[in-house]
């Protein structure tokens, strides 16, 4: 299988470019809060437990709405869902700048999770609609690059603006940018050749769930999503505060350090992983899962360096190498899912996976807030390595025992009239 160069003039690549920008705002808006936690703690007299709860509530709201989001994206226009989700979550982000107390923050974080959950199932399936196996890894890695770059934007922007204009300014800036992007969606995004909006009768949720229950490789992907979700969301939520407390950095510097080091290496890993994913798939699409499993096993040991209570340089090294290998694995996640799940069920499958990942991540963020004073963030960060070892072993096991059969079953499933 030969890889073709990316041609941004093609409609399928314009869709990817727009979705990468939307993805950046998606993660920027959800991560902006972590950069201003010290200010919120002082402004509203919040405890570490309450700060953890704010991170968890977003993830639990996201988890609550994700199954419905997946079903909607398998039954209606994915282009429309992307645009509406972008507009809704951007409006909620702008309103965050007007929050006047802890209760308002609670309600808005829940609302942000419910609004954002509509996006990822529709966007991921939309990319799969436009891109076949020969370009799917690269297309989805570009989208993942947008997601991870958004964490840097959210942390750095919110932290910098908080220092110079108050913590509310970052939310207003990000919210207005998202509303402007949503208004331009009709010029860049189209439903794919298998557009659900024009399909004859759609599959039901019960039918989709019955199919998914019979796919062991998908069950492993769900378990992996939960294990990795706990670790990654702990990092997203608490790493900026860790840099603030451990190294006495300013808000802007802590927000940048706590996101840039985590994400720049992840982005490099995703860029390499997207290329590697398509190269590996040229010799068998099941190899995407093997690449992901080996990448997670390679990433895990570097977090153990936190047990040494390291200085800034060692933290930078540990987080950077861990994030690179995690990025290689992440680039193979959605392409692997699209290989084992037929097109008509993909959004539902992604919605359920998002529910598992964010529900587990929310629990991890909350427990970190509760346990932070007892164990410290160094020990908690080091413990994440065990989660990645378990996930990596499970993925390698599924590669050897189940994925080939699951791909054959997906390929033999009768297509819908639209497909």
Tens of pLDDT, residues 382-408: 999 999 999 999 999 999 999 999 999
The whole-model pTM stands at 0.74
375 in a structural domain? yes
66 in a structural domain? yes
Question: What pLDDT is stored for residue 183 in this prediction?
Answer: 94
Report the domain count for the chain: 1
- Sorting pLDDT into bands at 50, 70 and 90, what band is 258? low
Over range 301-316, report the average pLDDT.
89
pLDDT digits (tens, 9 = 90+) for 55-107: 788 888 988 898 888 888 888 888 999 999 999 999 999 999 999 889 999 99
232 in a structural domain? yes
27 in a structural domain? yes
Question: What pLDDT is stored for residue 5 in this prediction?
Answer: 52
Could you count the other beta carbons within 10 Å of the beta carbon of residue 400?
Answer: 12
Domain housing 79: 12-191+203-412
Question: What pLDDT is stored for residue 84 in this prediction?
Answer: 95
7 in a structural domain? no
- Asked if residues 345 and 353 have their Cβ atoms less than 8 Å apart, the reply is no
Question: What is d(CA 178, CA 167) in angstroms, rounded to the nearest whole number?
Answer: 18
Q: Which residues contact 394 (CB under 8 A, 6 or more apart)?
A: 220, 223, 224, 293
CATH for 60? 1.20.1250.20
Whether residue 7 is predicted with pLDDT greater than 80 in this model: the reply is no
Whether residue 151 is predicted with pLDDT greater than 90 in this model: the reply is no
Whether residue 204 is predicted with pLDDT greater than 90 in this model: the reply is no
Long-range contacts of residues 280-285, Cβ cutoff 8 Å, at least 24 apart: 281/1, 281/133, 281/137, 281/335, 281/339, 282/1, 285/133, 285/339, 285/407
How close are the terminal C-alpha atoms of the chain, in Å?
23
196 in a structural domain? no
Question: What pLDDT is stored for residue 397 in this prediction?
Answer: 97
257 in a structural domain? yes
Could you count the other beta carbons within 10 Å of the beta carbon of residue 64?
Answer: 16
Cα dihedral 160, 153, 272, 385 in deg (nearest 10)? 70
Question: What pLDDT is stored for residue 251 in this prediction?
Answer: 63
Question: What pLDDT is stored for residue 198 in this prediction?
Answer: 41
What percent of the chain clears pLDDT 90, i.e. is strictly above it? Answer: 41
Question: What pLDDT is stored for residue 381 in this prediction?
Answer: 93
124 in a structural domain? yes
């Amino acid at each position: 299988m030969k890889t073709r160069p990316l041609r941004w003039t093609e409609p399928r690549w314009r869709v990817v470019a727009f979705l990468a920008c939307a993805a950046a705002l998606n993660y920027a808006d959800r991560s902006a809060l972590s950069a201003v936690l010290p200010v919120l703690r002082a402004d509203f007299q919040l405890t570490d437990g309450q700060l953890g709860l704010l991170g968890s509530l977003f993830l639990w709201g996201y988890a609550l709405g994700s199954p419905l989001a997946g079903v909607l994206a398998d039954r209606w226009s994915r282009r429309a869902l992307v645009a509406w989700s972008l507009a809704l979550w951007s409006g909620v982000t702008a309103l965050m700048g007007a929050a006047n107390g802890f209760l308002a923050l609670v309600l808005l974080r829940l609302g942000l999770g419910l609004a954002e959950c509509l996006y990822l199932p529709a966007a991921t399936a939309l990319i799969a609609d436009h891109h076949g196996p020969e370009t799917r890894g690269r297309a989805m890695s570009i989208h993942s690059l947008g997601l991870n770059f958004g964490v840097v934007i959210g942390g750095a922007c919110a932290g910098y603006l908080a220092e110079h204009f108050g913590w509310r300014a970052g939310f207003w800036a990000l919210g207005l940018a998202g509303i402007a992007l949503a208004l331009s969606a009709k010029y860049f995004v189209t439903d794919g050749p298998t557009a659900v909006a024009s399909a004859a009768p759609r599959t039901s949720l019960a039918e989709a769930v019955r199919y998914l229950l019979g796919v062991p490789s998908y069950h492993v992907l769900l378990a992996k999503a939960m294990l990795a979700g706990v670790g990654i969301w702990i990092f997203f939520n608490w790493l900026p505060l860790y840099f603030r407390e451990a190294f006495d950095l300013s808000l802007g510097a802590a927000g940048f350090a706590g996101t840039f080091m985590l994400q720049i290496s992840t982005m490099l890993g995703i860029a390499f992983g997207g290329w590697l994913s398509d190269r590996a798939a040229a010799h068998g699409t099941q190899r995407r899962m093997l690449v992901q499993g080996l990448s997670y096993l390679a990433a895990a040991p570097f977090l153990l360096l936190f047990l040494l209570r390291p200085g800034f340089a060692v933290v930078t090294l540990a987080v950077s190498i861990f994030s690179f290998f995690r990025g290689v694995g992440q680039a193979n996640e959605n392409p692997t899912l699209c290989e084992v799940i037929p097109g008509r069920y993909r959004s539902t499958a992604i919605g359920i996976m998002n529910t598992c990942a964010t529900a587990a991540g929310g629990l991890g963020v909350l427990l970190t807030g509760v346990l932070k004073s007892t164990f410290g963030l160094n020990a908690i960060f080091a413990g994440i390595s065990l989660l990645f070892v378990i996930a990596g072993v499970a993925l390698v096991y599924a590669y050897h025992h189940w994925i080939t059969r699951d791909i054959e079953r997906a390929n033999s499933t009768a297509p819908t009239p639209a497909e």
